[in-house]
Amino acid sequence: MNATPPTLRARLKSHPLFKGTGTTVGMTVFFIAYFIVLNNPLFPVTVVPATWLDDVIGFHPWSLIPYASLWFYIAICPSFLNDRRQLWAFAAGCAALAGTGLAIFILFPTAAPAPDIDWSLYPLIQFLKETDSAGNACPSLHAAFAVFTALWFARTLPALGAGLVLQFANFVWAGLIVYSTLATKQHVAIDALYGAILGAWIASLNFIVFPSPHGEPALRRPLFTAIIIIKLCALLLWTSETSTALSLALFFTGGALVLYQIFIPNAGELVRVITRFETSAREVWLTLDDGPDPDDTPRILDLLDQHHARATFFLIGQRAARHPALVAAIRARGHEVAHHTHTHPCGTFWCASPTRVRRELDQALAVFTATSPMPPSRFRAPVGFKNLFLAPALAERGLSCIGWSIRSGDTYALSPVTVGARIASKLQPGAIILMHEGPPVLPSVRVTAIATVLETLTQNGYRSTIPPAESLR
């Protein structure tokens, strides 16, 4: 059960000094660095050409308003963050975006072409032109920061209970800021498109490094929105005299974000993945995949009893159907039965259709509930590989996705001693240990490795427990 997310009032009141000084200092440092680079180019400056998009988007003086609103837009985003770690995450993302942009400006200085406009007729825009000349053009950091902030809002607003109207308004605001970079003629389309791609990439990497805090759901929308932005901008660049090879490369880089979320077991933007639990004691959670096994499971149960340990068995539905007595024995001896799909399709689960994902879940659930009225509440994907359609399917069935923080390596270990040493080196309270039973593990390692790990836990003053739902992180 997830903790209740903090209210908007609580978020706005949290860490006021940290938010205020952080935003002010960050912007000040950025502008100092920006103007130093702007006024001291190390290499010849290249003028970025205008394209058909610049002809379509004319000069609009009113666009100075959304252009100037960027700094307010960036500043209010961290005010909605309640968790100090997330504030540091936002700051780290801004720093990475600014640092990447400035590095590009140093190595590849660019400028926007001067349009044939009498700026004296527009005093405010003339002031902008005189203060911030059309240098440091590509990528447009104005566009990059707008997209970066929009994706952070997309991640934060649902936790505040914001409806679709506010979430849509967020992207409209960001879109107007990107549009304004062209409508003020401060940038050309190529600058803005590269800037939007940069902002989407930095935000996505930022979310990988700093997952959403406990109590807030994993949201696929920011990830998919980032990918759409990258692909759309790549297509527009292709129509704007950018080489086909580069446009295709940029287009397909968006897919790498999805592949990372699918194939990296603990990545949590497609599906919320639990990787640890909160505890003040020297406790860990031993989890055992791929059973039940008629040779291994009885011996493992005896070992757990000897060490007064509790474990969670992530069982494969087909095997559980063949050995219902073992499933019953796991429960009877105080351990937890959890879900590891019905057929363990480790090579194809990641690309399975929605129908097949539901079938894998439901067939195994039918097996598990045939011997107990309490269905499993925890799920682990085969090899940790996820699926685009997994999150809603798990939510409909009340299943949470469990990852791990310590991979024992028992499936490729040659000695149980190696497994014990690997786990001992990573022990900490709240760790989730991944181990296996059955044929994937070498006969010389099977079960013996589990015995070694249980002895290692005892020697280090740890015990294995099954954590309650509210402690999962």
Dump pLDDT digits (tens) for 75-96. 999 988 887 888 999 999 999 9
Reported confidence tier of residue 218, pLDDT bands at 50, 70, 90: low
Q: What percentage of the chain has pLDDT greater than the value 90? A: 75
* Side chain identity, residue 184: T
Reported confidence tier of residue 219, pLDDT bands at 50, 70, 90: low
* Cβ atoms 435, 290 nearer than 8 A: no
Respond yes or no: is residue 289 known to be catalytic: yes
Residue 23 is encoded by which pair of tokens? 């935003």
451 CB neighbour count, 10 Å cutoff: 17
Respond yes or no: is residue 118 known to be catalytic: no
pTM, entire model: 0.87
d(CA 127, CA 319): 73
Q: What's the rounded mean pLDDT across residues 9-31?
A: 82
Q: Locate tokens 């290692």: which residue?
A: 456
Dump pLDDT digits (tens) for 118-148. 888 888 888 777 777 667 889 999 999 999 9
Ordered structural domains, the chain, with CATH:
8-263 (no CATH), 273-471 (3.20.20.370)
d(CA 371, CA 433): 27
Residue 379 is encoded by which pair of tokens? 């799920």
Q: What's the rounded mean pLDDT across residues 398-412?
A: 96
Residue 202 CB burial class (10 angstroms; 0-12, 13-18, ≥19): buried
Reported confidence tier of residue 47, pLDDT bands at 50, 70, 90: very high
**Three state DSSP letters for 257-323:** HHHHHHHCCCCCCCCCEECEECCCCCEEEEEEEEECCCCHHHHHHHHHHHCCCCEEEEECHHHHHHC
Q: Which of 187, 340, 344, 436 is catalytic?
A: 436
How large is the C-alpha radius of gyration of the chain?
27
334 or 255, which is more confident? 334
Q: Given a cut of 50, is residue 462 above it in pLDDT?
A: yes
DSSP secondary structure letters along 88-117: HHHHHHHHHHHHHHHHHHHHS-EEPPPPS-
Q: Which of 289, 290, 296, 410 is catalytic?
A: 289
Look at residue 39 in the predicted model and tell me its pLDDT.
Answer: 86
Q: Given a cut of 50, is residue 1 above it in pLDDT?
A: no
Look at residue 137 in the predicted model and tell me its pLDDT.
Answer: 86
